[in-house]
Structure 1
Amino acid sequence: MTIPFFPPDLFEQDRQTFKDLLYEVGTDPEQRFILGRRTAALEAELRLTTGAGHVIACSSGTGGLNLAVQALGIGPGDEVIVPAFCCQPVASSVANLGATPVFADVDPHTMVIDPDDVERLISERTRAIMPAHVFSIMADMPRLTKIARGHGVKVIEDAAVAEGAVLDGVPSGRWGDLGVFSFFQVKAFGTAGEGGVVLTDDPGLAERVRMLRNHGQDGVHRFVHHHIGQNSRFDEILAAFQLHRHAGFEDRLERRARIADYYTERFAPLAERGLLAPPAGRDGRCYYVYSLLARRRGDLRAWLTEQEIGTHVYYPVPLPGQPAFARYAPEGREWPGARYASDHNLAIPIWPHLTDAQVEYVADSICEFYA
């Protein structure tokens, strides 16, 4: 039984639909291939399902973070607090505008940003905090938004991996002043390429993001540039494809959640043997990736490879240890939670069309290793 970590057939059931949509958009007399009526329809659909006041489609999750930071007017002399263990756009979206990413440590179990460290790092230069939901867990948004309000700073919620997750009754992407989803292929609501959205309830920020994604134009007067923007426009073919796939998103997410529930139950007895599963439950959980913390990660990964089960290690070097961000890492500062997460995380398959037999085989193989 071969079970890849990234399956090659994520969109196999949608193959013909994709071809049909490609032909439909390509032969549409309107000949509009970006930011057309299909993009507008997808934005409307996501406003409905998330309750956000405004949803702005863009080229990628990274593009969404870039737009969010720029929309807040953040630049040289400003600081944004970001997690030390995360995908690099949380830092590059800040640094690319001349501002300073300030790295906060993460909780060594949940692997999300530590609110206590965030509060310690706030200074008079702090303009925003950028919590990121990671793998299976949403960040502690109630606490983080309270901290931000108390200090008068903005919140950019990196919900790239967490579309569909809900914490305390509030959907991911809705906690911050701005939120961002990603449509990268393997995300829970991934597409056949790149894409993302920015969510906000602030009409002024929404208007600014819309203009920034299209070279600073307002969408009415072409070649009139109100801001120095960027090209972060969304593709009409992918908009049509996402509209098609959105109808099944809830079922796919539920399947991922059930697999996660099963894994967590099976792995709970292994905590004393050096394998820590994500915390049980569904509140504040996302199911993009199911990542374990394994003391003997190398041995476990080798064992699973022998069993023909694919695995993945994320972010083996924390962001402050990356050459690109060395100048933002104060000498002598340490991030033990991030270092632990980098050294011990191991993600296992959780894609929604895994069969029950495959899920049981993955769990049995891991339990056998620790037996």
Structure 2
Amino acid sequence: MSSSIELPGWPQLSDEDVEAAVAALRSNRLVGLRNGTVEEFESALAAGQGVGHAVAVSTGTAAVHLALHALDVGPGDEVIVPAHTFIGSASPVTYLGARPVFADVTPDTHCLDPDSVKSLLTERTKAIVAVHINGCAADMEALCAVGAEAGVPVVEDMAQALGTEIGGRPVGGFGDLACVSLFEQKVITSGGEGGAVLTNNAAYAERVRRLRSHGEGPIEGRPGLIWAHEVGYNYRLTTVQAAVGLSQHARLGAMVEARRRNAAYLSERLAGVEGLELPVEPEGTVHAFWKYVVRAVPGEGRPAAAEIAATLRSRGVPVLLRYPFPLHKQPAFAEHNDVSLPVAERLSEELLALPSHPALTEEHLGHIADEVRKAVAG
């Protein structure tokens, strides 16, 4: 039996977003090494996240790739990555010929566990990728301390965390570099795909800016001429994407506020449901709630997460199992299949992501909560 209420999808582009895209198309300045719209968007991102530099790129995965390249990650190096995350946090490590080393996560936040990271450090460790999963802040104080003690830089993967804060500061400025995703379903989008690298280090920013456009840059003493200082990539963001991103960014605060309001409503309606563990917001942080993730607590007679998800989907609720296959158990990383990371492995069988995006009304959310209650009860 399907739901009698049709739930809206995400993203939702406004008239202003569309008008911005049209204006960009009519400018006949669609891409280039120096592009006013792209630069304006970069300035807005940098100011919004409280960092010195933002470099707009084609995807969030490209952002991770370029951040790691700027740190000179290469063959023989190791990069520590959480096992409970999207593959785009780890695949760029292999692009550079390095080896991902998968770490466990904490059972409450589902973010990278500093103790697990510390146990995996070797003389080959070149970087640590800390993911702010679902919009929940990773423990950057502890992770940066681990990195600093070992002399290893930390990259914040904030693909899911625009709007997330720690101690009143937006994420993105705690690590050495940070990576933004503007994919269509993220907190804001630049029209389908897009990303950015953030940093307070001018040298890193300059290198990322060069690498995103074939490694080309000015020749000292020869004005107007450029050449390839190194082999780079074609990871530029277009004018149209920047225009849509800029338009969406102007509403970032309102969209995060709506997500938090929706999450609070779901938590109120789902409080006390036996067998259901609700998401946490670590003290002193602001959770952006890109995903509202609940845990189906195992117990005799209780339905498993997969069963709950199937029931909800049959009722028209677009629920997803949240990372049902940890990265170290997937075929792409076969050499790691024998690694044991108990928390990530347990969470892969227990987590469900419920919609919480701004297009949902209280009627929609109430319906979702009612259906979840029934599905969990079996």
TM-score (norm 2): 0.90
Distance 2:10 2:204 in 1: 38
| Alpha-carbon shift at residue 364 of structure 1 (Å) | 2.0
- Which residue type is aligned with residue 289 of structure 2? Y
In structure 2, what is the Cα distance between the partners aligned to 1:256 and 1:324?
A: 33
d(CA) in 2 for partners of 1:229, 1:241: 26
Per-residue CA deviation, residues 90-134 of structure 1 (Å, 9 max, x unaligned), is 211111111111000112332211111000101111111101111
* Aligned length in residues: 362
In structure 2, what is the equivalent of residue 10 of structure 1?
12
Contact 2:189 2:244 in 1 (8 A): no
Q: Which moved more, 1:244-253 or 1:140-149?
A: 244-253
2:68 is paired with a residue whose SS is: helix
The answer for the alignment partner of 2:185 in structure 1 is 186
Q: What residue is the counterpart of 2:353 in the other structure? A: 347
Q: Which runs of 5+ in 1 are unaligned?
A: none
Deviation of the 1:252 alpha carbon: 1.1
- Per the alignment, do residues 8 and 110 of structure 1 end up closer, same or farther by CA in structure 2, a change over 3 Å counting? closer
Alpha-carbon offset, residue 351 of structure 1: 1.2
1:1-371 aligned within 5 A: 1-4=4-7, 7=9, 10-11=12-13, 13-14=14-15, 17-28=16-27, 31-34=29-32, 36-218=35-217, 223-270=226-273, 273-280=274-281, 283-294=285-296, 295=298, 296-327=304-335, 329=336, 331=338, 333-371=339-377
In the TM superposition, what is the alpha-carbon distance from 1:348 to its structure 2 partner?
0.9
3-state secondary structure, aligned to 1:111: coil
> Is the alpha carbon distance of 1:48 and 1:277 closer, same or farther for their aligned partners in structure 2, counting shifts above 3 Å?
same
Aligned residue identity for 1:310? P
Structure having the larger proportion of residues in strand: 2
Could you say if the C-alpha distance between residues 222 and 32 of structure 1 is closer, same or farther in structure 2, counting changes exceeding 3 Å? farther
Check 1:347–1:27 CA distance in 2 against 1; reply closer, same or farther (3 A cut). same
Unpaired segments ≥5 residues, structure 2: 299-303
Aligned partners of 1:217 and 1:330: how far apart in 2?
Answer: 40
TM-score (norm 1): 0.92
Distance 2:213 2:177 in 1: 18
Q: Is the 8 A contact 1:136 1:278 kept in 2?
A: no
Overall identity of the aligned pairs, in %: 36
Query: Residue by residue, what CA displacement relative to the aligned partner does 1:3-60 show, whole Å, maximum 9, x if unpaired?
Result: 44x716622x33xx4443344223325x343451100000111122211110000001
Moved over 6 A (4+): none
Contact 1:25/1:33 (<8 A) preserved: no
Instruction: Indicate how the Cα distance of structure 1 residues 26 and 286 shifts in structure 2: closer, same or farther if over 3 A, else same.
Output: closer
Q: Is the 8 A contact 1:167 1:285 kept in 2?
A: no
Report Cα offsets for 1:189-213 as digits up to 9, x if no partner: 1232100110000011010000000
Distance of 1:235 and 1:125 partners within structure 2: 37
